[in-house]
Structure 1
Amino acid sequence: MTLRLYDTATRSVRDFVPMTPGQVGIYLCGLTVQGGPHIGHLRSGVNYDVLRRWFLRSGYTVNFIRNITDIDDKVLVKATEQGKPFWAVAYANERLLSATYLKLGVLPPTYEPRATGHITEMHELIQLLIDRGHAYPAPDGSGDVYFDVRSHEEYGSLSGQRPDDMEPATDGPERAKKDPRDFALWKGTKPEEPADANWPSPWGTGRPGWHIECSAMCWRYLGTEFDIHGGGLDLKFPHHENEIAQSHAAGHPFARYWVHHALLNLGGSKMAKSLGNVINLESLVEAGLRPVEVRYYLLAPHYRSVIDYSQEALEEAAAAYRRLENFVTRAVELVGPGVIGEVPDGFAEAMDDDLNTSRALAVLHDVVRDANGLLAAGDLTAVSTALSTVRAMLDVLGLDPLDAQWASTQSGDLTRVVDSLVALALEQRTAARGRKDWAAADAVRDQLKHAGIAVEDTPAGPRWTLES
């Protein structure tokens, strides 16, 4: 099968054809690290992690670049508010982001460049744009450099807008621009900004504009042309529109496919720190959800479908994952973990259909439903085959309960304590059954049930699970 992706630039689903056979270059716009990540941010990491895993499963080598924006207006505002150096604020939040991605089973990128590490490349790209007549230093002596929107005939093509209908860019004073929509490539030093947030440049001391950062890092790590540029739908304009404009104006073919995921909303509005409507992974874990269940929740809808956050939907996703996990646990008790096999055709077709994880999960649940029947029938050979298939699908989605990732991120001290206490209760129940004290055995089982723990007697001995 051929993977088909919805390309935002052409507004159509297209067959994916890599530049180099067997290799894929992906650039994902990472976060501006003015604060810790909320689950709206984390949807991006999980969705593109699944895309990457599907490419790997399909035999591709993947060069996956996910940047960190560590110098930006928002970072400087937070640094001023907290009385800390901007780089200290950015680095602390970068560490928090990395730890959160790890908890969600997101594979580390091939490389994760910081904007501040690529000032030289930005200078080269800005000078190239000036030389080609697409950028100009501000005539007011501010040190600003602007991209000349009117010099690029294709401007607005990604978002489907005409420049005359666009609002002015707000990243610099209009008095210094040829056109109000011209956007900043380089920002001269401002007296109200932190003194350490600037670098020397041919146009004066200052710092980069947001958009030039990503174009420069794409160029540095993926070349002038690469396969896929990804990000949230909220980045389509102006960020990605400006990336395309400045990169094409510099003579770079740039991204061949643009893939945008939809947003996660809370109360009808995009989840955003500026709106004060954010929920992070830590709060969900404190409420009793496991990171793997949050991952399931984030990848269950199609990546281009809006997620309207609700506690009910989270709990439904957690229960759905536990049904899958329960089959794997029961099957392993009977036939061992086996090996990760091949995914069924229906699953592959769903994933190749614009990464339709919703339909792929439907296939997975159908297979598990049938496999539970095999467990009940005691057909161990068929159970072993089904387990291999189920684990293959779960592996693509990053959800395999047997993956060491989940064993390491979910076995905190509290879990170990609960394990020990339940094991002790089950030993008492087994001893009571051994001496045929059925009343005592039933009492232990009833007490565990009251605590939300279901006990099932299996050929390998009693097994307990948390009730949904």
Structure 2
Amino acid sequence: MIKVYNTLTREKEIFKSIIPGKINMYVCGPTVYNYIHIGNARSSIAFDVVRRYFEYRGYQVNYVSNFTDVDDKIIQRAREEGVDEMTIANKYANAFIEDTLPLNIQPATVRARATEVIPDIIVFVQDLINKGYAYEAKGDVYFRAKKFKGYGILAHQDLNEMAENAAGRLNDEEMTRKEDPIDFAVWKATQAEDEISWESPWGSGRPGWHIECSVMAQKYLSNTIDIHGGGIDLAFPHHTNEMAQSEAHTGQKFVNYWMHNGFVNVNNEKMSKSLGNFTTIHDMLKHYDDPMTIRLLLATTQYRRPINYSSDTLTQARVALDRIRTGYRNLSFRLTNADVGKDADLESAIKKQINIFEMAMDDDFNTPNALAAVFELVTLANTYADNKIVKIETVQYLLDTILLLLGVFGITELNDKPQITDAQKQLLAARVSARAAHDFELSDQIRQQLSESGIIVEDTTQGQRWHQA
């Protein structure tokens, strides 16, 4: 059975989907006014791993994630660049897709956009007003936070303390519009002629941030969903407000399991533009030639734990991935000379590691322990590859298992598929002939030529192997 840590209860709970065999899952996506940073990528990858493991376990996952494509930051960016808001939103929404593709993040079942559900938002807000949960003030519409029983329980914050903090952030004009400092906007009146807006019963305006996700989750999933995910920084106020307005609207529980991923630190410091350590995936991909190393680093830290991103941790991830690739490649080579049949003892050892992997992932997606099981399989692969006699069914079973389990982390390709020239092929063949003739001086010369052309040659007891540098 899978156990999931629920932020609401602060406990690991046995997971049970509303519909047997199916999961409705909503994960907050980025506000598309800039390229995504490594923290955004961490959240996307963390919940991609969660999704992949549920699918590994046989669930059908309906995975909805959004683009916030109307927001103060987008409006400001559009003014700075002298274009309209949709130009900015479309640019960075497309950039998100382009930058997550090399990281092998699966596309959402639905990639929702706030601007596509404006009529639904207006209906939702009007219903909150009709029920007394929201009120209009000079074109703005605010949600009465204290009217919702249990407001703040998701973030485990004291209501009075939240009210004091909110009052300290408001200017005099906002104080006069709000009935209570803690009330939050579900609709915002237009402030300037050049900003994006829609007509509503309360005048020209646009939705508040929190209402967008409530409406999209309800529209594309259900009134009550299995899982809602996002970064821990979203627990308050975003998810707190989502929960309040959604349950006020439907009268039903909004989410059964709230899941939040931890932060990413850069060189042991909180990532921020002021510290000069703000790192976008767009820039990382320009300067790093192996996106799967980034993926492994972000995927194999337990999702609730913070990650320290640095050149050292990235190097460690690359070394780990190279070790896996080498073990997989070594065993793949033996497919060419394996005997028919299987090795029962080794297959039993493989199944043991599968069980360890599943026990770890069942325990709130404990990816470090699950990865340890994968490395045990890699050790088995290296050891078995050195045997004089190997059995083809067991070789294939071990290769398939390594790839299957790594696929949960989003590492779905391990074999090198290099494009080599005819000249390189001739050199490889010539080197085999030279070694067969015991002309080791020529063999070494050819090895050097191949190395200079990007082909690394290894000599094993089973023959010559090669891969791209």
Q: Tell me how far 1:194 sits from its aligned partner.
A: 2.8
CA distance in 2, matches of 1:460, 1:88: 57
Identity over aligned pairs, percent? 38
Are residues 1:45 and 2:40 paired? no
2:401 to 373, 389, 396: 389
2:142 partner amino acid: Y
1:67/1:112 contact within 8 Å kept? yes
Q: Tell me how far 1:203 sits from its aligned partner.
A: 0.5
2:330/2:382 contact within 8 Å kept? no
**Structure 2 match to 1:411:** none
2:135 partner amino acid: Y
Q: Which moved more, 1:386-395 or 1:221-230?
A: 386-395
Question: Where does 1:171-250 land on structure 2 (aligned, <5 Å)?
Answer: 173-191=174-192, 194-195=194-195, 197-250=196-249
Q: Tell me how far 1:373 sits from its aligned partner.
A: 0.7
2:357 partner amino acid: F
**Structure 1 match to 2:284:** 284
Q: Deviations along 1:389-428, whole A, 9 cap, x unmatched? A: 212211222213259xx97xxxxxxx758x7886565456
SS in 1 for 2:197: coil
2:32 partner amino acid: V
CA distance in 2, matches of 1:153, 1:400: 46
1:457 partner amino acid: D
Q: TM-score, normalised by structure 2?
A: 0.88
Q: Deviations along 1:41-70, whole A, 9 cap, x unmatched? A: 111111111111111111111110011100
CA distance in 2, matches of 1:309, 1:297: 8
CA distance in 2, matches of 1:304, 1:24: 20
SS in 2 for 1:145: strand
2:128/2:134 contact within 8 Å kept? yes
SS in 1 for 2:110: coil
Q: Tell me how far 1:354 sits from its aligned partner.
A: 0.1
Q: Tell me how far 1:464 sits from its aligned partner.
A: 2.9
Q: Tell me how far 1:99 sits from its aligned partner.
A: 1.4
CA distance in 2, matches of 1:39, 1:214: 22
SS in 1 for 2:396: helix
2:230/2:260 contact within 8 Å kept? yes
**Structure 2 match to 1:380:** 390
Q: Deviations along 1:271-328, whole A, 9 cap, x unmatched? A: 3557652223344344444111111111111111101111011011111011111222
How many residues matched?
A: 447
**Structure 1 match to 2:345:** none
* Cα separation, partners in 2 of 1:354 and 1:204, compared to 1, 3 Å: same
* Cα separation, partners in 2 of 1:392 and 1:108, compared to 1, 3 Å: same
SS in 2 for 1:78: helix
1:370 partner amino acid: L
SS in 1 for 2:386: helix
CA distance in 2, matches of 1:6, 1:378: 47
1:463 partner amino acid: W
Question: Where does 1:321-336 land on structure 2 (aligned, <5 Å)?
Answer: 321-335=321-335
- Uncovered stretches (5+) of structure 2, i.e. residues with no partner: 339-349
* Cα separation, partners in 2 of 1:204 and 1:288, compared to 1, 3 Å: closer
2:409 partner amino acid: L
Give the alignment's Cα RMSD to 1 decimal: 2.6
SS in 2 for 1:456: strand
CA distance in 1, matches of 2:120, 2:43: 26
CA distance in 2, matches of 1:292, 1:356: 20
CA distance in 2, matches of 1:351, 1:421: 47
CA distance in 1, matches of 2:275, 2:146: 34
**Structure 2 match to 1:358:** 368
1:199/1:205 contact within 8 Å kept? yes
CA distance in 1, matches of 2:86, 2:310: 35
- Uncovered stretches (5+) of structure 1, i.e. residues with no partner: 408-414
1:346 to 351, 356, 359: 356
Are residues 1:464 and 2:467 paired? yes
SS in 1 for 2:150: coil
1:370 to 363, 368, 380: 380
**Structure 2 match to 1:161:** 157
Q: Tell me how far 1:437 sits from its aligned partner.
A: 4.0
2:103/2:292 contact within 8 Å kept? yes
Question: Where does 1:50-129 land on structure 2 (aligned, <5 Å)?
Answer: 50-129=49-128
1:181 partner amino acid: I
CA distance in 2, matches of 1:73, 1:274: 20
SS in 2 for 1:173: helix
